[in-house]
Amino acid sequence: MVQEMDLLKRFDAYIDSDQKIEAKDWMPDAYRKTLIRQISQHAHSEIIGMLPEGNWITRAPSLQRKAILLAKVQDEAGHGLYLYSAAETLGVNREELLDALHKGKAKYSSIFNYPTLTWADMGAIGWLVDGAAIMNQVPLCKCSYGPYARAMVRVCKEESFHQRQGFQIMLNLCNGTKEQKEMAQDALNRWWWPSLMMFGPNDESSMHSAQSMKWKIKRFSNDELRQRFVDMSVPQAELLGLTIPDEQLKWNEATGHYDFGPIDWSEFEAVVSGNGPCNRERLATRVKAHENGEWVRAAAAAHAAKVAKRKSLKTDAA
């Protein structure tokens, strides 16, 4: 029997030499738990994230936009599925993870607790929310856990059209009528700050960051990624002719970055802990879909069992 200490040494050596950990390899419990928490939160975010955009599929203003939006929201279901699958390699099953979500014990990205009020929100979500998500996700393609890293490679490959279609919606609105441009500005005003919050708390107050960095589950700090996002978005907003709702936003020659105003962390805390504008509704919608699907899942399982039984009776008789 290999001793726990030796196993830990070998695990650390793997991590240090940038080798991937695979599903059946020995890993410290805390590493496993961290991964399950992070991957399932990520999966939940994908399927809850279907709802704010799904809200506009039936009202998309052209057939082409409808097709694009439907394909995009469908991709999110796919991403949720890839991620649940990655989590399942760690010895939990999807049903347990969903159960935790439905009982309010699991978290998901707070951004999806904001309402989508106009069509321009489809543009802002693609441009900003998917933009922020991509920034968060690209480094995860190199994360130390193999199944998660591979799922993320797939996700990132597919995500690249999401941000572009969002930006194009914004572009069309900004080149459109006065009302359309106002709609775009209003969407930017409402989605800008929540998008910055997507990178999580400041580094000094981030609970899980240090250990996750060490384990190479996380590769850049929250603040680093947030800064990158701001630096990327400012010229894009200028291109659109829109104003980012931050009076303190200013280019800093010395640092080579944009300085930006303080984030309202009390709002972040409130939304994370369940008091955002749509928390209850989003969760209730998911629970309802799951409960309404129960008889369907049961029927398919029962049918599969019947067919298997008939087959084995036939084989026995032969």
Partner 1 sequence: MNSENHQLLLRLGDDALILSQRLSEWCGHGPALEEDIALSNIALDLLGQARSFLTLAGAREGLNRTEDDLAYLRSDREFRNALLVELPNGHFGDTIMRQFLFDQFALLRYECLAAQRFDLDVAAISAKALKETKYHAEHSAKWVIRLGDGTDESHEKIQESLNTLWVYTGELFEPDTVTSYCTNNGLISDPDQLKSQWLESINLVLEEATLSLPSSEWMQCGGRNGIHTEHLSYLLAEMQVLQHKYPGAKW
Partner 2 sequence: MSTKPNDWPLWEVFVRSRQGLSHRHVGSLHAADAEMALSNARDVYTRRQEGTSIWVVRAQDITATSPDEKDMLFDPANDKVYRHPTFYDLPDEVKNM
Question: Is residue 74 close enough to count as binding partner 1 by CB under 8 A?
Answer: yes
With contact defined as beta carbons under 8 Å apart, do 229 and 131 qualify?
Answer: yes
Question: Is residue 179 close enough to count as binding partner 1 by CB under 8 A?
Answer: yes
Here's the x/- map for partner 2, 31-70, by CB under 8 A: it reads as ----------------------------------------
Here's the x/- map for partner 2, 280-299, by CB under 8 A: it reads as --------------x--xx-
Residue 164 or 208 with smaller CB distance to partner 2: 164
Q: Using CB under 8 A, which residues numbered 212 to 271 contact partner 1? A: none
Residue 158 near which of partner 1, partner 2, none (CB within 5-8 Å, type-dependent): partner 2
Question: Is residue 88 close enough to count as binding partner 2 by CB under 8 A?
Answer: yes
User: How far is residue 59's CA from residue 151's CA, in Å, rounded to a whole number?
Assistant: 31
CA distances from 33 to 15, 27, 121, 148 (A): 17, 10, 35, 14
User: How far is residue 44's CA from residue 149's CA, in Å, rounded to a whole number?
Assistant: 17
- Residue 283: count of CB within 10 angstroms of its CB: 20
Residue 24 or 295 with smaller CB distance to partner 1: 295
With contact defined as beta carbons under 8 Å apart, do 134 and 159 qualify?
Answer: yes
Question: Is residue 300 close enough to count as binding partner 2 by CB under 8 A?
Answer: yes
Question: Is residue 203 close enough to count as binding partner 2 by CB under 8 A?
Answer: no
CA 269 from centroid of its chain's CA atoms:
18
Residue 70 near which of partner 2, partner 1, none (CB within 5-8 Å, type-dependent): partner 1
Positive or negative, the CA dihedral 109, 114, 180, 119 is positive
User: How far is residue 205's CA from residue 257's CA, in Å, rounded to a whole number?
Assistant: 22
In angstroms, what is the minimal distance from the CB of 248 to partner 2? Answer: 42
User: How far is residue 174's CA from residue 203's CA, in Å, rounded to a whole number?
Assistant: 35
Q: Which long-range contacts (CB under 8 A, 24 or more apart) does 206-212 make?
A: 208/34, 211/30, 211/34, 212/34, 212/38
Chain positions contacting partner 1, by CB under 8 A: 47, 50-51, 54, 57-67, 70-71, 73-74, 77-78, 80-81, 84, 119, 169, 172-173, 175-177, 179-180, 285, 288-289, 292-300, 302-304, 306
Chain residues binding partner 2 by CB under 8 A are 2, 22, 24-26, 74-75, 78, 81-82, 85, 88, 91-96, 150-151, 154, 158, 294, 297-298, 300-301, 303-304, 307
